[in-house]
Amino acid sequence: MASLATATFTGQSGQAYEFLAYDRDTEFKSTGAVYVVAIRYTVPNGSSYRHVYVGETRDLSDSPLTHCRTACFERIGANSIFVRLEGNAERRQEIAQDLLETYDPPCNSDREGLCEYPTTECPLVWPLGL
């Protein structure tokens, strides 16, 4: 499983976190991680990304693929996932919260991970409108 790119995301605290980018349908092994679901799009000098969800999981093999926000991801065209492996549950939560305070992704709108979206609805975000 080859990554598409590497990226550094900086949290509200100023801490920088390294991530690897993959296609959203990539299958992962069971491990703890912080992840960012994103829209990958082409720009003149390569690719760029729009963050749509920040999460953390103790089992990367399951959570991003069966996530309760899948309808939101599908509607806005999320096609990538950035992954940072992290085995410590407390540290995963800290990193995810730090990134949420910086990026405020649209599919995290309730900040509690609750599934409030109807199955076919999600806030419209770029490229469909902001």
For residue 116, pLDDT beyond 80: no
pLDDT tens-digit map of 39-59? 888 888 887 888 889 999 999
In the chain the first and final C-alpha atoms are separated, in Å, by: 33
Tell me the C-alpha distance between 119 and 130, whole Å: 20
Within 13 Å, how many C-alpha atoms sit on residue 99's CB side? 27
pLDDT at position 5: 82
Torsion sign (Cα): 17, 6, 19, 108: positive
Predicted model pTM = 0.80
Separation between Cα atoms, residue 103 and residue 116, nearest integer Å: 20
Query: Quick one: pLDDT band at residue 65, thresholds 50, 70, 90?
Result: low
